[in-house]
Amino acid sequence: MMAPLTGLKVIELARVLAGPWAGQTLADLGAEVIKVEAPRGDDTRAWGPPFVKRGEDESSAYYHSANRGKASIIVDLASAEGQARLRELVRDADILIENFKVGGLAKYGMDFESLSKVNPRLIYCSITGFGQTGPYAHRAGYDFIIQGMSGLMSITGEPDGQPQKSGVAITDLFTGVYSVAGILAALHQRDRTGRGQHIDMALLDVAVAVTANQALNYLTTGMPPQRMGNGHVNLTPYQAFDCADGHIIIATGNDAQYQRLCRLLGLDDMAQAPEFATNKDRLANRRVMIARLNGATVGWTKAELLSGCEAQGIPAGPINDLAEVMADPQVVARGLQIELDGVPGVRAPFTFSDAELSLHRPAPKLGEDDAAAL
């Protein structure tokens, strides 16, 4: 079976994470992705340890996490020769992804207006911190700062502690995925119009968009939601609970699940108590309810409580570290851990009935494909 995007040609003028993540996703889906690097290479090649060693090449695990399946060529855009080479690459390309500062490529004649004259069908995706317009357009965008500015950190962390960022660069990753969605939409439109177009992706736009139900809670009430640790602003009990040997997550989504949880824990009186009868009641009396539930769960081991919840149809799960994740039978069964030419990786989360992913090479060495491109 072929990969879904076989035959598409992508030029990637992107560094660090959001742009490369979009490029890697397209490569996994079958597109030919040519990573155009400055002579020093993508900054993340040096973001280690840990490092992955392939022959004489030593690049960081971080770099390998976002650049699988691509070719790498070295182009000096400041030179006339480099600019001519890139224009030649663009001539028959379908997509270009770039994350230069606003206006950064115009001085080389590599902006959308210039390259669309070379290839009117080109889909040109620009990824920046704040977009091509607005008072912050000139600023550089960093995931950590965007997490703070977007409100994501205001709703993450314990109520009495510092606001917390996510454990991965979540706004970069979401922007990469949204960029792919925008690119595929533009490809679909091009089938009707014959024309490419410019896609303006901003980390801040994406981060604000993914505040999701929390944004609607604010827009509905006028009250900004606050940090709740592992609690859920709209559901309870829906959080981590203490066990004798650690913690598990219990995530009830309706009254019946809550009632079964109470009976499992020997708290039958709570199952029918009017102050906990509906989710609205439980939210109003959350503190008392959680204290009693937690007082009961602490007498169980994690394994015992998980088993009991599963038997009673109560949604629950463990809090795994990454070693436990990669050994999890479900993760193993789905084939999420991969290895390409001795380099470990995590498979893109697509499973098709009539297509397959293109997983044929690890992240390239700097300039590995210069000779082939020439």
What is the pLDDT of the chain when averaged over all its residues? 95
Q: Is 328 annotated in the active site?
A: no
Q: What is the pLDDT of residues 65-113, one digit of tens each?
A: 999 999 999 999 999 999 999 999 999 999 999 999 999 999 999 999 9
Instruction: Report domain extents, the chain.
Output: 9-211+334-346, 238-323
User: Of residues 172, 255, 281, 321, which has the active-site annotation?
Assistant: 172
Check if CATH label 3.40.50.10540 holds for domain 9-211+334-346.
yes
Q: What is the pLDDT of residues 213-253, one digit of tens each?
A: 999 999 999 999 999 888 888 899 999 999 999 899 999 99
pLDDT of residue 233: 85
- Tens place of pLDDT for every residue, the chain, 374 residues? 899 999 999 999 999 999 999 999 999 999 999 999 999 999 999 999 999 998 888 999 999 999 999 999 999 999 999 999 999 999 999 999 999 999 999 999 999 999 999 999 999 999 999 999 999 999 988 999 999 999 999 999 999 999 999 999 999 999 999 999 999 999 999 999 999 999 999 999 999 999 999 999 999 999 999 998 888 888 999 999 999 998 999 999 999 999 999 999 999 999 999 999 999 999 999 999 999 999 999 999 999 999 999 999 999 999 999 999 999 999 999 999 999 999 999 999 999 999 999 999 999 999 988 867 65
Q: What is the SS3 string spanning the chain?
A: CCCCCCCCEEEEECCCCHHHHHHHHHHHCCCEEEEEECCCCCHHHHCCCCEEEECCEEEEHHHHHCCCCCEEEECCCCCHHHHHHHHHHHCCCCEEEECCCCCCCHHHCCCHHHHHHHCCCCEEEEEECCCCCCCCCCCCCCHHHHHHHCCCHHHCCCCCCCCCCCCCCHHHHHHHHHHHHHHHHHHHHHHHHCCCCEEEEEHHHHHHHCCHHHHHHHHHHCCCCCCCCCCCCCCCCEEEEEECCEEEEEECCCHHHHHHHHHHCCCHHHHCCHHHCCHHHHHHCHHHHHHHHHHHHCCCCHHHHHHHHHHCCCCEEECCCHHHHHHCHHHHHCCCEEEECCEEEECCCCCCCCCCCCCCCCCCCCCCCHHHHC
The CATH superfamily of 238-323 is formyl-coa transferase, domain 3 (3.30.1540.10)
pLDDT of residue 374: 55
Q: Is the pTM above the cut of 0.85?
A: yes
